[in-house]
Amino acid sequence: MQSGKVRYPLDEILLLCLAAVISGAKTISAIARFGEMKLAFLRRFKPFKDGTPARDHLGDILASLDPEVFQWCFAAWVSALIGAPVEAIAIDGKTQRRSGSKAKGQAAAHNVTAFAARQRLVLAQVKVDAKSNQITAIPALIGMIDMSGAVVTIDAMGCQRVG
């Protein structure tokens, strides 16, 4: 990477996306519009020297990220932000309401989440593969966060015999 040629630093892009999604943006176009309309707000946190990227450029930047590496890094960042030891972590799978369509033959989306009870914070979340169940997603989720010293709860679906 040639740092002098970076027009939109990744930390600015991620701040833009986070703020836009929290504000209700659901598409790349909506995130780009948020950036245009709220540039003064965003500059309270980061310089945004070149403003925010247009929709196409933003899409290219986000498409270049490795989703699994990003998910792992994001979970590590959230864990570091907590500041207090995580005493209890609840792991559970949920189906997102209205995410599927029988008419279109589209299955509902399933996620497995690790939740820090005391901090009331989602530490990490993994999407369950459409042709699988949460049993396969739980090890990936556990590998993303530091559970040292924490009491971990999980429902019966997560209890599997080894060997």
Contact 114, 124 (CB under 8 A): yes
Q: Which pLDDT does position 90 carry in this prediction?
A: 87
Q: Is residue 69 part of a domain?
A: no
Stretches where the chain sits below pLDDT 70 are: 1-6, 79, 82-86, 99-100, 130-132, 157-163
Question: pLDDT tens across 27-53, in order?
Answer: 999 999 999 999 999 999 999 999 999
Q: Is the domain of 57 the same as that of 87?
A: no
Q: Is the domain of 119 the same as that of 154?
A: yes
Q: Which pLDDT does position 118 carry in this prediction?
A: 78
Report how far residue 96's alpha carbon sits from residue 129's, in angstroms, rounded to the nearest whole number: 14
Q: Is residue 152 part of a domain?
A: yes
Which tokens belong to 102? 């029988």
Contact 28, 16 (CB under 8 A): no
Q: Is the domain of 147 the same as that of 87?
A: yes
Contact 52, 3 (CB under 8 A): no
Report how far residue 24's alpha carbon sits from residue 39's, in angstroms, rounded to the nearest whole number: 16
Q: Is residue 68 part of a domain?
A: no
Contact 20, 30 (CB under 8 A): yes
Which tokens belong to 137? 């997603």
Number of domain units in the chain: 2
Q: Is residue 72 part of a domain?
A: no
Three-class DSSP category at 113: strand
What is the domain extent for residue 112? 83-158
Q: Which pLDDT does position 42 carry in this prediction?
A: 96
Contact 153, 90 (CB under 8 A): yes
Q: Is the domain of 56 the same as that of 107?
A: no
Question: pLDDT tens across 142-161, in order?
Answer: 887 777 788 888 877 666 66
Give pTM, 2 decimals.
0.59
Q: Which pLDDT does position 108 carry in this prediction?
A: 73
Report how far residue 124's alpha carbon sits from residue 76's, in angstroms, rounded to the nearest whole number: 9
Q: Is the domain of 33 the same as that of 92?
A: no
Q: Which pLDDT does position 3 carry in this prediction?
A: 56
Q: Which pLDDT does position 43 carry in this prediction?
A: 96
Q: Which pLDDT does position 161 carry in this prediction?
A: 64
Q: Is residue 95 part of a domain?
A: yes
Q: Is residue 48 part of a domain?
A: yes
